[in-house]
């Protein structure tokens, strides 16, 4: 079925597949990023493919390539028992223009995966309903999974209002009775 998947894509989207290959049971289709969402929707909805599940979505950074990033989605058909790795390449050498359509309307599992890819790599997912940082704090200004990321010379604490959080938490606890320590003494024979 794997070869058939790639054939179906080639037939449905002529000229849109930039590369396709099969190796050790893993089928890969590299597609034009302008057709990313359309191809994913076809793969999900077509009775020929029935890719019901987005297993994972991530990015890979190739700083010497142009485009720089590969966005990678692993798709699975539970009903037909086949899988496909769907890739698209985006972004210039500086990575600031890395943009691709969101898949959140197709698969709910894309939500957090796209947020993580944006937070760690800086790839922006157009149409994402809540694209904000998921692992780093809001004030963080870089993308730590990029291969050219440079760690700061010193780290400041995460700017979370810890004191406010502690004060609110204390309001939910009831005070424990003070113990005099005698309860810890065991009887000696």
Give the model confidence (pLDDT) of 120-141 as tens digits.
999 999 999 999 999 998 888 8
172 pLDDT more than 70: no
* Structural element, H or E, at residue 112: helix 110-121
Residue 149 resides in a domain: yes
66 pLDDT more than 80: yes
N residues, the chain: 189
Residue 183 resides in a domain: no
**8 Å CB contact between 37 and 106:** yes
How far is the C-alpha of 128 from the C-alpha of 118, rounded, in Å?
Answer: 11
Q: What number is the average pLDDT over the span 26-32?
A: 93
> Cβ–Cβ contacts within 10 Å for residue 48, how many?
15
Residue 182 resides in a domain: no
pTM > 0.85: no
Q: What number is the average pLDDT over the span 77-87?
A: 93
> Cβ–Cβ contacts within 10 Å for residue 112, how many?
13
Residue 153 resides in a domain: yes
Q: 97 is in which domain, residue-wise?
A: 2-175
Bigger pLDDT: 79 vs 4: 79
The SS3 of residue 27 is strand
The tokens 């966005």 sit on which residue? 71
CATH number of residue 145's parent domain = 3.30.460.80
Q: How confident is the model at residue 39 (pLDDT cuts 50, 70, 90)?
A: very high
Residue 180 resides in a domain: no
The SS3 of residue 126 is strand
């Amino acid at each position: 079925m794997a070869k058939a998947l790639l054939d179906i894509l080639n037939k449905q989207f002529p000229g849109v597949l930039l590369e396709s290959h099969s190796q050790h049971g893993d089928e890969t289709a590299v597609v034009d990023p302008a057709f990313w969402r359309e191809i994913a929707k076809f793969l999900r909805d077509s009775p020929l493919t029935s890719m019901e599940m987005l297993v994972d979505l991530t990015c890979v950074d190739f700083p010497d390539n142009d485009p720089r990033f590969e966005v990678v989605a692993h798709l699975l058909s539970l009903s037909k028992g086949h899988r496909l790795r769907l890739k698209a390449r985006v972004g210039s050498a500086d990575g600031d223009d890395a943009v691709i359509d969101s898949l959140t309307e197709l698969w709910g599992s894309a939500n957090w995966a796209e947020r993580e890819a944006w937070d760690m790599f800086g790839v922006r997912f157009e149409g994402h309903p809540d694209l904000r940082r998921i692992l780093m704090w809001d004030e963080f200004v870089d993308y730590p999974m990029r291969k050219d990321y440079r760690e700061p010379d010193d780290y400041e604490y995460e700017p979370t209002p810890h004191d406010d959080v502690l004060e609110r938490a204390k309001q939910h606890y009831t005070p424990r009775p003070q113990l005099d320590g005698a309860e810890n003494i065991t009887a000696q024979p």
